[in-house]
Amino acid sequence: MAVAYQVVFMRFQLFVSRRPATLATVFTAAGFVVRLAVFAVVLVLLALLTKLNIVALAVAFVVLYTILSAVSIQRYIARAKRDKAARGTGPEGGVVGG
């Protein structure tokens, strides 16, 4: 569940980043509320339909989601650095202040 949640979150962030700043704020707030609602519904359904401890399930989800978020952010930063390095120093040839 945390993996699917992370994938949907990252896709949504890409969607939001391609929108104008005024809409990005609205989409970000709406996306946060929707993600919380989905998380709550899934936890309640799991609590009602299984004998799993809901607190342990919520903690496990939060821990796994945090780890996935950290890995995703690290990969994004590494890719951005790699892309920046591949572009070179630009037309100035690395001259600073000139």
Distance CA 39, CA 57 (A): 11
Signed CA dihedral, 87, 92, 95, 96: sign only: negative
Question: How much is the pLDDT for 6?
Answer: 77
How is residue 82 written in tokens?
């790699």
pLDDT (tens digit per residue) in 76-87: 788 878 877 666
pLDDT (tens digit per residue) in 31-69: 888 888 888 888 888 888 888 888 888 888 888 888 888
Q: Where are the domains of the chain?
A: 2-82
Question: How much is the pLDDT for 76?
Answer: 79
